[in-house]
Chain A
């Protein structure tokens, strides 16, 4: 081989190295890339970390790719995103340390019921306007509800559909048909005719479906991005998957809205944000005017336990949403075996898998804390590690010496860790548990759609859509909720319990209904169709400039309606 002639090349390499070094210096000199005061001039796609913390701008960093603002398609709570844009007939009062209450929103009260319990009447406040200045009338509420029957707009919370008379077969207002059981008495009065008494109706009237929608401006294809606001904010711009920007609705007035403080001038949703990065950003207070819409994961909570500085950023609720173990009553038919499982589960171990004290507290009832009517009791002992002797005695009585059970669970690490803790607890009394960890969609299919023949136990979690024991107990234990999309994964059918649930649900006076629900809770527990494991604490993280940031056991989410931002 010829000798190399490397000199020109060497010179070039040196030049390249010099250029690289210069580039690196340039990059280093650009320190402060995530300084909130650095303005990039980005419009539309806000740059998050670099955007100016404009006075009065609140940012919501969301891992979700969507912010659906069509009330017919929304399952959101009365105190989160949608409620900033749409008011409903009623809403929730969520204040620190107080039980959540249903309060009037567009209406003057939470509803007047007829003597037979079948007609609820509401009167609208004076001086209500949409964002374009047109007055809000009873007809707009009726139209908003009617469109929830349209197949193109299903997917939201539809508790009203089972209760409004004559709703079967109705397919919405787009073909000119109307639902007579929603009666517009006059411009400011609306009456609902039900097919059965419903004590929860004032709560149901706080679901998104009870938001006014002006018929003239309704396009079912685009209303989710271009809604007509009745609340303090209107949509300034919506960039699907990237960002939704809310600005003030000039026609909203705090004089006739006691629940929304509407302090920030603008509220911006940053969509598709990685939760881990978001948590880290907010720990660094970048930006200070933002909150994360996602829960802080259990693993992160454990890491942060040793970092006192992080505690200023994190808000944690008292124990709330129920974590439970369903026992398939069709396959584990002997009540003594189910009771033995209740005694044998090691709830302390499950709690450790949930992140310990920061993750929740041990549960002994089905109705979760923060829900009116709840009474504390413990039918199967209060030992956190369980009562192995009592469990063994019941199994002996039932003549069961060895038992193999399949535990169906979602395959995320948190669920699997809890399942392992359960399996370990049950193995102490000779119950051999096989953990069947599946994709979330497969879990739903097998637990709520199928015939229930593929599992003996199932791990579940429940936070009701509104704070009534009815929304807590009916979906999980009424026989009408077995299969076909229902959440009664215990496949528990007891006619007496069904009747007791129906009777309590029909009671309009919360003072009377409360003890009835507490009795139902106990009645179910005697049949032991599931094991209440723990009440979860939800933790959220926000920047230092965000005020009024708190989480109550119910709804276990921050109250977005009162958030403030220091300018």
Chain B
């Protein structure tokens, strides 16, 4: 890695931090303009005007918006306290807000659910990367054959089918009808690695099928393009076996644009595979968000949005760095 590459990574990191701060502020402002009053959740029944006002004061919603944004930003760095004295609620740094409804800091809510989402996303990513690249290679090398057409037809299904449809179909066919896989819930890896994987097989497959389609098409296109280039003809004429040509010469060139894409897709999933988690009753970050939206639990909505944005931005950074390292021309 030369000095120029390092400098570029430094610039990228600075940009990332700046974008993060802006996103936090923007997210907070957008949700402050939410039509519903977030203090209503903390008002109780019957809700009287003075109780609503005291809930607003307690949660800090009585402050002007810029003060709220500032409190939120400082809360991430230094933590926050709601209320005063022995009855106060503490939210340790990095404080992404406090869910009055769930009685817990948003940060700890996300932290307790992140492993579920990570298990789901990373497992699926491995599957779709393997599946997508393999399918794309087969398709390109067997161009025009039955296998090629079959794979390309499948990718159309994968790209266009919504995850809830595939998820529900999968549960119906493999869970209820064939009784091959469990239909709901998550088992932590630390409890039982086998059951962990066992419960995740179906969601992994569904997510992988949807995402692999894009990769198969991408790999096929790049592969065909590369196979027609001079360096391949050169390698073949030097007497290298086809196997060596594909694995040593073509594949690295094909994978250069694929790897950063994995980082991006994985980042998006880590922020919460919203629909998939809900369909499979997995207690991940996405299902936390779904629930919060249904209940207008604003601190959770804001917190998860900020978290998801941060992950996507970090994934972008990783993708940029990977691209820089893999291809020094960038």
Contact = CB atoms under 8 A, between A and B. Distances in A.
Interface string A26-57: 01101111110000111111111110000000
A216 interface: no
A485 B102 contact: no
Interface string B149-175: 000000000000000000010011001
A82 interface: no
Interface stretch (B19-27, B52-60, B206-214, B252-260): B52-60
Interface in A202-248: 220-222, 224-225, 239-242
B279 interface: yes
B195 A154 contact: no
A273 interface: yes
B85 A175 contact: yes
A221 B103 contact: yes
Point out which of B90, B180, B243 has the most chain A C-beta atoms below 10 A from its C-beta.
B180
Contacts of B179: 31-35
Interface of B: 34-37, 40-52, 54-55, 57-58, 82-83, 85-90, 100-104, 108-109, 112-113, 138, 141, 168, 171-172, 175-176, 178-188, 191-192, 195, 198-199, 236, 241-243, 278-283, 287-288, 291, 294, 296
Given A40-B195, A221-B90, A441-B35, A284 B104 contact: no
Interface string A392-422: 0000000000000000000000000000000
13 contacts: A6-B242, A35-B179, A40-B198, A49-B185, A65-B102, A66-B101, A152-B58, A156-B45, A241-B109, A242-B283, A272-B283, A439-B35, A440-B296
Central interface residue in A155, A162, A486, by most chain B CB within 10 Å? A155
Nearest to A35: B179
A154 B55 contact: yes
Contacts of A157: 44-45
A46 B283 CA distance: 12
Contact of A154 (B44, B104, B141): B44
A281 interface: yes
A274 interface: yes
A276 interface: yes
Contacts of A277: 171, 183-184, 279, 281
A271 B283 contact: yes
Given A241-B288, A274-B184, A151 B83 contact: yes
A65 B283 contact: yes
A33 B192 contact: no
Interface stretch (A68-76, A180-188, A306-314, A423-431): A68-76
B54 A46 contact: no
Contacts of A35: 179
Contact of A174 (B85, B112, B278): B85
B177 to A, nearest CB: 10
A174 B87 contact: yes
A319 B288 CA distance: 34
Contacts of B44: 75, 154-158
Contact of A42 (B58, B83, B171, B192): B192
